[in-house]
Amino acid sequence: MIGVIATSATCVEWVRTLEGDAGGSTMELFELIARESIRDLVQRYNANGDSGRFDPMLELFAEDATMELATGTFRGRAEIRAMFEGVAKNTGEGGRAAYIRHHTSTHQIDVHDETIANGRCYYFVITDSGLDHWGRYIDEYRNIDGSWRFLHRKVTTDGAVEGAWAESARD
């Protein structure tokens, strides 16, 4: 059962009562807002990146963000943009995949306070050839001027199909 149990001028406490948990647990409003904002951040990253809309995608990163891949670490929006533009050369007309679609699941978010959170989730990628590769995102998020941003994103690849688009994207 989920419901509001207390209101005040500064906070609304939300209670989640789980089967077998006599005491329930409380969550402050800022944490609920943070969790939903971070979920939206990850989905916008996928949608903008998959469609090649790099300007709005890069706005999801802090200015000094770091993106860590098996192929290297990219610091700041300019380096992250260059990495994505290089990957994009293998997608679309003349590329190894007509399109790519990232899907995320099991997104766990730990909100530490109103400005700091960490998360991890699984991803898998579909191309016009089918399942391509899969792995995990391990993230650090910061609330900067009221908007949650990626501060650090580590991308791990757990597996790929033979001849995967992801292999060509590393070249």
Give residue 15's pLDDT. Answer: 38
* Residue boundaries of the structural domains of the chain: 2-169
Give residue 149's pLDDT. Answer: 98
Amino acid identity of residue 106, one-letter, is T
Q: In whole angstroms, what is the distance from residue 40 CA to residue 138 CA?
A: 16
Of the pLDDT bands very low, low, confident and very high (cuts 50, 70, 90), residue 26 is: confident
- DSSP letter, residue 28: E
CA 154 to chain centre: 10
Give residue 93's pLDDT. Answer: 74
Give residue 168's pLDDT. Answer: 67
Spell out the residues 6+ positions from residue 87 whose beta carbon is closer than 8 angstroms to its own.
169
Q: In whole angstroms, what is the distance from residue 72 CA to residue 118 CA?
A: 21
CB 3 within 8 A of CB 13: no
Give residue 38's pLDDT. Answer: 98
Amino acid identity of residue 118, one-letter, is N
The domain defined by 2-169 folds into: Nuclear Transport Factor 2; Chain: A, (3.10.450)
